[in-house]
A and B are shown apart, each in its own frame.
Chain A
Amino acid sequence: MQPKRVRVVLADVAGTRPPGEHTRAELAEQTGIGEALVRGLVRAQLSLALRCAAVVAVGLGALPLLFAVAPAVAGARPFGMVLPWLLLGVAAYPFLFVVGWAYVHLAERTERDFTDLVERH
C-alpha cells in the first residue's frame, strides 16, 4: 500500500523532530544516561576527527614546502615517474581513502563501545 500524496510544505520543520530516528547516538540520549557521558562521546569523536585531519594536513600539506626547499626530491624519478606527479596524481587518492576508512572504522567502534556501555547499565 503506497502512502497518500500530500502537499509539500517546506516551512513547518521547526520543532517537529521526525519520529523513528534510530541513530545510535539518539538511542543513547533517550536512555537518560548522564549528559557528561554523551559529551564524552562527542569529544571522543571530535578528537578522532581532528587527529585524522592532522594526518592529512601533515601528509599532504607538507609536500609543497618539501618540493620548494628540496628541489632534488621534486626531481627524483621512482618507477620512471617524476615524484611530485606520482604523489599528487596517483598516491594522494588512496592515501585519502585509507585515512577516511580508518576514521569510519574508529568512529563506528567508538559508537559501538558507547552503546555497549549504555546497555550494560
Chain B
Amino acid sequence: MTVVTVVIGAYGLRLARTTSDLLVASRMVSPTWNAAAIGGEYLSAASFLGVAGLVLKHGVDVLWYPVGFAAGYLALMLFVAAPLRRSGAFTLPDFCQLRLRSVGLRKLATGFVIVIGWLYLVPQLRGAGLTLQTVAGRPYLVGVLLVGLVVTANVALGGMRAVTFVQAFQYWLKLTALLVPMLFLLLHWQADGRPALAPPTGSTFAHRTTVTFDQPTRLILADGSTVDVPAHTTRTYPAGAPIPRVAGGDVDTGPDWLLPGATTHGDRGLLATYSLILATFLGTMGLPHVLVRFYTNPDGAAARRTTLMVLGLVGLFYLLPALYGVLGRVYTPQLMMTGNTDAVVLQLPAWAAVRPGNCSARWSPRAPSPRSCPARRGC
C-alpha cells in the first residue's frame, strides 16, 4: 500500500510542473477519476468501521449516519459544486477572497481549514502508529513518522494529480476489501438457513465462547438477575446460551433492535434523529478536503456530474457497513458483550468461518484493544 502510494507520487512528480498542476491538477481530472478520489477520501476507516459497529449496537436508528453522509453530497451538488468550480479559485481561502474581496476572511478561512485538517490528521496518524505497532511490532512513533513522511512527500512533490490517483485507487481497494468477504458471508448465512438477526428471546452465542474478564464486572442475565464477576476470571458459555448484558454497557441485545426508536441507550429520541439528519445532510458542504477536489474539475457542469457519481459510489459502498453490522448480530454476538463493536468488520469474516467449537473473547473495557480471539479455523 505504502509502496504503491510512493510510486504513484513519483509518477505525479514528473507531471506536476506549474502552480495549477500542483493545486488543481490543471483542472483536467475527469468526473470518473474525481468521483472515485472523493469516495476514497471520504470513506475513511472511521466511517465504515464505526457505522458497522454502531449498527450492531443500536440497530436501524444509526442507519441515518450513512444516509446522511450520502445525502450531504446531494446538498453539496445542489448548492455548492458548480459555483465553487466556476469561481476560478485554487483553494477555499482563495474562493472567500475572490468572492467577497476580503483578506481578513481569507485568513479566517485558512484558520478553519487548518483546524479541520488537524482534527482529521491526528486520528489518521494515531491509526497509522497503532497499525504498525500491532502488525509489525514497531514502536508507535515509527508508524506515525513513516506515514506522515510518505504522505507529506507525496502531496508536496506529486501535487493534486498524484493525490487523485492514490485516492481513486483507495476507493476501489476499500470497496473490494469489504465487498468480497461480504459476498461469502451472505452465502454462508444462506447456507446456514438464514438464522434470525434478532431472535425474539434475545441474542445468543453463536459458538461455544470463553470470555475473559480483565476487570470486575457486573452481568445482567436474561431473566433480569445480576451476577458479579471478579477480575481475571474466565467463563465459558455454550453455543445458544443467551448473552448477558454488561451493566453500564450501551448495547441493545433484545429483539427491539430491529425497530426504529427502540434504543434505550444514549439520547436517541426523535429530536436526536432530526438533529443527526440536519448535521449530516448539511455537514458535507463544510469539509475543505472534499471541496478542494471540486476545483480540479474541467468546468461547473463536470463538477455536478462528479458529485452525481460520488452519490452513486458512496451509496454503493454504504450498503456494506450496514450488512456487516447486521450479520455481526448473528456471527459475532460476543461483541455485544465486550462492547468492542467497532471491530465487527475485522472480526466477522474470521468468526463466521469458525465451525462449532471453542472460541474466546476478552472483556477489558479500558485496555486499548480488547481482544476476542478466534484461532482462525476450528478453534
Residues of chain A whose beta carbon lies under 8 Å from any beta carbon of chain B: 2-6, 8-10, 13-14, 17-18, 21-26, 45, 49-50, 52-53, 56, 60-61, 64-65, 67-68, 71, 74-75, 82, 84-85, 88-90, 92-94, 96-97, 99-101, 103-104, 107-108, 111
Contact = CB atoms under 8 A, between A and B. Distances in A.
Contacts of B305: 104
Given A23-B299, A53-B75, A93 B274 contact: no
A106 to B, nearest CB: 11
Nearest to A51: B78
30 contacts: A10-B23, A10-B91, A13-B89, A21-B299, A23-B86, A23-B299, A23-B300, A24-B299, A24-B300, A25-B86, A45-B82, A52-B78, A60-B71, A71-B259, A74-B260, A75-B259, A84-B60, A84-B260, A85-B63, A88-B63, A88-B67, A92-B70, A93-B314, A93-B315, A96-B67, A96-B73, A96-B74, A97-B312, A103-B78, A108-B304
The A interface, classified by DSSP as helix, strand, loop or mixed, is: helix
B92 to A, nearest CB: 12
Contacts of A5: 17-18
Nearest to B305: A104
Contacts of B322: 89
A89 B63 contact: yes
B34 to A, nearest CB: 15
B151 interface: no
Contact of B308 (A14, A90, A101): A101
A94 to B, nearest CB: 7
B352 to A, nearest CB: 20
B342 interface: no
> For chain B, what secondary structure do more than half of its interface residues adopt (helix, strand, loop), or is it mixed?
helix
B38 to A, nearest CB: 14
A49 B75 CA distance: 9
Contacts of A94: 315
B82 to A, nearest CB: 8
B311 A96 contact: yes
Contacts of B91: 10
B97 interface: yes
B86 A26 contact: yes
Contacts of B64: 64, 88
Given A49-B78, A88-B67, A104 B304 contact: yes
Given A8-B22, A56-B74, A101-B308, A2 B17 contact: yes
Contacts of B82: 45, 107
Contacts of B86: 21, 23, 25-26
A8 B79 contact: no
Contacts of B97: 13-14
A71 B326 CA distance: 21
A65 to B, nearest CB: 7
B339 to A, nearest CB: 23
Contacts of B260: 64, 67-68, 74, 84
